[in-house]
Amino acid sequence: MIHMTTVHWGVIGPGRIAENFGREFPADQTLYGVASDHSPEKAQAFARKFQIPHVYANHAELLADPAIDVVYIATTNNVHADNIRAALLAGKHVLAEKPVTLNLTQLKALDQLAADRHLILMEAQTIYHMPLYPKLLQVVHDQQLGKLQSLHAAFGLGSDPTDQTGRLLNPQLGGGGLLDMGIYALSFARRLMTAPPQLAQTVMVPTQTGVDNLSATVVTNAHHELATFSFNLLPAAPELAYAVYEHGYFLIDRYLRPDQAVYVDGRTGEHQTIVAGHRDQAMGYEAQDMAQAIATGQNPTQAWTRDTMALMTAMRQAWGLTYPQER
């Protein structure tokens, strides 16, 4: 186990998501530096808020500092790949906000670059780091629930339809329901599925800006596990998921950062609440897992990220949705 205080973090993209990361950051690691290419004032304010000792004029200056071990990237979706590539070329490990890239081609290239340089590239996807999910799999084993049968996950963001230049609706920024929130549902399925998901069917209704608003999707895999998803960008809807096994099932409310689930035994009807972790430490778990990956040289989430990105890429291909950076 690495001594956590030896890991010095740099932050690129000090916006709202990065502020959540700063608030939940583990006390035994070090937020060492922060930079913004577009708003040095925002970087200064971020540093004051989280008592970060070093503020850089731009990303390049941060990446050039040999004291920084790992970079947390929280910029908009459209520039994730460029930011990750620059950090890896500078010899830094990377924890990048979801979606780690826009598509599978970008991700494969960056995974190879990270491997060539013996660096960790990890996606900051809460689903992969919350302690509840391994505990649910332990219940599956202990209670002999049998094989996974089906999954469902839904989410409705309730976005402002008039904000057509903001990151959620703007195709230039990699907007849309799938990349912003739908990725959580797909990651939930991949976390529990025992083989990579394959797209069976998907339909989408776009927004006025052309990004995906409403969608419904069915996937399966080589083990005959079935998953269904429904995403809304503009209408609000419950954040709810369930997983059905041969002899019982789990209901998970607020599954993006869950700290509890209801287990229902299909044989007795008995209900039990399963508890693990804390919602308000979700991004701290990401940082802890990243430090552990650096220490061991192993990224246990890499295959999940790659399989989920492959599925998202296939879904957008079926919809005919491409972003300007991909053309």
- CATH hierarchy code of domain 4-127: 3.40.50.720
pLDDT of amino acid 327: 84
pLDDT means over runs of 10, the chain (327 residues) = 68 97 95 96 97 98 98 97 98 98 98 98 98 98 97 95 94 96 97 98 97 98 98 94 98 97 96 97 98 96 98 98 93
Q: Are 236 and 157 in contact (CB under 8 A)?
A: yes
What are the tokens at 58?
């731009």
Which runs of E-coded beta strand occur in the chain? Answer: 8-12, 30-35, 54-56, 70-73, 93-97, 121-124, 148-157, 198-206, 212-220, 226-232, 236-245, 248-253, 260-265, 271-275
Count Cβ atoms below 10 Å from residue 144 Cβ, excluding itself.
11
What confidence score (pLDDT) does residue 6 get?
Answer: 75
Burial 167-180 (b: 16+ CB within 10 A, else e): bbbbbebbbbbbbb
Q: What is the pLDDT of residues 33-90, one digit of tens each?
A: 999 999 999 999 999 999 999 999 999 999 999 999 999 999 999 999 999 999 999 9
- What are the sequence ranges of the domains in the chain? 4-127, 128-283+308-326
236-245: strand order across its sheet = 198-206, 212-220, 226-232, 148-157, 236-245, 248-253, 260-265, 271-275
Instruction: Give which of 206, 157, 234 is closest to 319, Cα–Cα.
Output: 206
List the 70-73 sheet strands across, edge first.
Answer: 54-56, 30-35, 8-12, 70-73, 93-97, 121-124
Give me the pLDDT at residue 2, please.
41
What's the confidence (pLDDT) of residue 51? 97
Q: What is the dihedral of CA 108, 281, 251, 227, to 10 degrees?
A: -10
Chosen CATH of 128-283+308-326 out of 1.10.1240.10, 3.30.360.10, 3.30.365.10, 3.40.1160.10: 3.30.360.10
